Amino acid sequence: MGLNEASRLPLYVQLKELIKEKIEKGEWKINDKIPSERDLEKDYDVSRMTVRKAIIELVNEDILIRKQGKGTFVKELRIEQDLVKLKSFTQEMRLRGLNPSTRVIDAVEILPDIDVRNKLKLNLGENAFVLKRLRLANDQPMAYEVSYIAEKFCSGLFNHNLNQSLYQVLTKEFNIQLNYAMQSLEAGIASIKEAELLNITENDPILILERLTIDGQERPIEFVKSIYRGDKFKFLVRLIG
């Protein structure tokens, strides 16, 4: 497909869309090196400035990535996660055509500290379950989660399969109807432990999400801290005017 000089669309926009189409059709795959600026200039009979502008926009859109001294490559797309609807990690990945899986790292029952106790509105002496899990998509580590669940609402939780959606277990096995959640999101850098679990490098960017999930009776059921790979995720929020 060539470029149409008679079109009202600028040539750099046409070239940008053409490159995106090649990626979407799989002609250029993730991590593939695309043709050089000189080759694109020659192939599509446009100026170097037109080629450069198209590539800059695709880099800014996280579709291409430039590597110093190596060229320009197709970038792995980040997973867009909706912060509006209450969905589990498992649901989010399946919605995007990815195969989710979970590795349980630790599962213990504790007397929580005052911070967790206050979040879950537990009385002094009431226990909480702590569930540490690595969440994967297509066998690739995506997030590390530490969940605190009020024991009084789901006694025997650890007798069930926790290598699946925790929300599904709470709903099906304990008849807990999750209603909404309050959550916060901030940027951070990976510790040595987090980097090892997520298969990234220490001090790589991460996204830290904290969520308090409430059931239909206005009871706090779970408090979770999730560490997401910064190179794999971006979070979307819908603003209503």
pLDDT at 187: 92
CATH number at residue 211: 3.40.1410.10
Which residue ranges in the chain fall short of pLDDT 70? 1-2, 76-87, 95-97, 234-241
Start-end of H helices in 86-207: 89-95, 114-119, 166-174, 192-198
Q: Is residue 3 part of a domain?
A: no
pLDDT tens digits along 211-237: 999 999 999 999 999 999 988 776 666
Question: Are 194 and 94 found together in one domain?
Answer: yes
pLDDT at 215: 94
Q: What does pTM read for this prediction?
A: 0.67
Question: Are 83 and 168 found together in one domain?
Answer: yes
Contact predicate 84/45, CB 8 Å:
no
For residue 219, what are the domain limits? 79-236
pLDDT at 80: 60
Structural domains of the chain, count = 2
